[in-house]
């Protein structure tokens, strides 16, 4: 298979398995989404979804969050990795949203990426899932799968994002990135597939003899 054929098969296969792509992180507004995505760094979505109800019942907007101390935030989000840094980031970004954005989550990459604890990937998720803007958030998981499936030779997530955007039509980006995440968790895990086990890997590379080693992000 050439790259275009692999991309076509992957997109079709994922659409069959995941015709619907609910957002993994539970939230009721874009501020909650922003905080949940920030918390998900080096933490599972399942754990985030267990933690955020206790946080959002106290503070589901920047004004209420700003009324909490950093330590109060920390005590709630402790089960998440990097909780000390994340509690400070949540507190500080809430203040910035109030002072610079009238308490609203900005709907553009530049303003989002200026917020504490918010990198390009987090901003991409918020733009995609919160505002419906075409984006292709790429984390280390998608980076690894894109290499394994021959969609990129990128050595980092930035290069991989560029390659995926060139490979797939813009109107598919928001859904496709979630489909890849779901598939990776269920069928093409780090331990469960080495590039020769799951249906996508076997179809794209039927003659692959050795396990595939992906470049780290």
Q: What is the pLDDT of residues 176-210, one digit of tens each?
A: 999 999 999 999 998 889 999 999 999 999 999 99
Q: What CATH number is attached to the domain comprising 162?
A: 1.10.1670.10
Average pLDDT over residues 161-189: 97
Domain endpoint, select from 78, 113, 131:
131
Domain endpoint, select from 131, 158, 181:
131
Say yes or no: 154 and 84 in one domain: no
Say yes or no: 87 and 160 in one domain: no
Report how far residue 111's alpha carbon sits from residue 99's, in angstroms, rounded to the nearest whole number: 13
Which pLDDT band holds residue 4 (cuts at 50, 70, 90)?
A: very high
Contact 188, 145 (CB under 8 A): yes
Say yes or no: 11 and 38 in one domain: no
Q: What CATH number is attached to the domain comprising 109?
A: 1.10.340.30
pLDDT tens by residue, 11-35: 999 999 999 999 999 999 999 999 9
- Which residue range forms the structural domain that includes residue 185? 3-20+136-204
Report how far residue 87's alpha carbon sits from residue 66's, in angstroms, rounded to the nearest whole number: 11
Report how far residue 3's alpha carbon sits from residue 172's, in angstroms, rounded to the nearest whole number: 17
In angstroms, the Cα distances linking 78 to 39, 54, 61, 67 are 10, 12, 20, 19
**Active-site residues: which are they?**
121, 139
SS3 167: helix
pLDDT tens by residue, 58-80: 999 999 999 999 999 999 999 99
Please state, as a whole number, how many other Cβ atoms lie within 10 Å of the Cβ of residue 210.
8
Average pLDDT over residues 43-48: 95
pLDDT of amino acid 16: 98
Task: Give domain status of residue 124, yes or no.
Answer: yes
Task: Give domain status of residue 211, yes or no.
Answer: no
Say yes or no: 82 and 101 in one domain: yes
Say yes or no: 86 and 44 in one domain: yes
The pTM is what? Answer: 0.93
Domain endpoint, select from 79, 109, 131:
131
Report how far residue 79's alpha carbon sits from residue 65's, in angstroms, rounded to the nearest whole number: 19
Which pLDDT band holds residue 168 (cuts at 50, 70, 90)?
A: very high
pLDDT of amino acid 5: 96
Say yes or no: 116 and 34 in one domain: yes
Say yes or no: 176 and 124 in one domain: no
Task: Give domain status of residue 209, yes or no.
Answer: no
Task: Give domain status of residue 216, yes or no.
Answer: no
Say yes or no: 65 and 91 in one domain: yes
Q: What is the number of structural domains in the chain? A: 2
Q: What percent of the chain has pLDDT over 90?
A: 93
Please state, as a whole number, how many other Cβ atoms lie within 10 Å of the Cβ of residue 3.
14
Say yes or no: 196 and 112 in one domain: no
Which pLDDT band holds residue 216 (cuts at 50, 70, 90)?
A: confident
């Amino acid at each position: 298979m050439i790259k275009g054929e692999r991309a076509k098969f992957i997109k079709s296969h994922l659409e069959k398995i995941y015709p619907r792509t609910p957002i993994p992180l539970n939230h009721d507004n874009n501020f909650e989404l922003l905080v949940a995505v920030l918390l998900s760094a080096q933490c599972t979505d399942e754990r985030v979804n267990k933690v955020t109800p206790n946080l959002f019942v106290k503070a589901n907007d920047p004004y209420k969050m700003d009324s909490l101390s950093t330590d109060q935030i920390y005590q709630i989000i402790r089960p998440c990795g990097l909780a000390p840094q994340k509690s400070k980031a949540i507190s500080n970004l809430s203040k910035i949203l109030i002072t610079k954005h009238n308490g609203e989550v900005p709907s553009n990459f530049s303003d989002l990426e200026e917020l504490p604890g918010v990198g390009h990937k987090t901003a991409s998720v918020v733009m995609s899932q919160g505002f419906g803007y075409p984006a292709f958030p790429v984390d280390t998981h998608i980076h690894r799968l894109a290499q394994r499936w021959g969609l990129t030779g990128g050595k980092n997530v930035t290069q991989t994002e560029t390659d995926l955007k060139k490979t797939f039509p813009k109107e598919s980006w928001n859904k496709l990135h979630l489909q890849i995440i779901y598939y990776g968790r269920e069928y093409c895990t780090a331990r469960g597939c080495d590039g020769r086990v799951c249906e996508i890997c076997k179809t794209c590379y039927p003659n692959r003899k050795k396990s595939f080693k992906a470049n780290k992000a």
